[in-house]
Amino acid sequence: MIDPKLFDDFSKRMADSMPRGFQTLQEDMQRNARATLEATLGKLNLVTREEFEVQQAVLARTREKLKALEARVAALEVKDK
């Protein structure tokens, strides 16, 4: 799915943008931002690049087979007439 480091980097940047006097608040904010981001992205139906490329290849092969079958059907229809 999505690289967990992305969550860490995002939540750290959010926490670092707060004044240093709020260290406890920063830590809470970092945890909450990470949890919120993970929950939000977890609801999305995302796939990895590898899964996408595999499905793309399957679709390309299916289209090739469909073209071949359509040509055969067309040839058979011409033959029957």
User: Of the given ranges (6-10, 67-71, 72-76), which has the lowest mean pLDDT?
Assistant: 6-10
In the predicted structure, residue 16 carries a pLDDT above the cut 90: no
Q: Does this model's pTM top 0.75?
A: no
Q: What span, in angstroms and rounded, lies between the C-alpha atoms of 68 and 74?
A: 10
pLDDT digits (tens, 9 = 90+) for 22-45: 767 777 877 888 888 888 888 888
Q: Which residue in 40, 37, 34 sits closest to 11, CA to CA?
A: 34
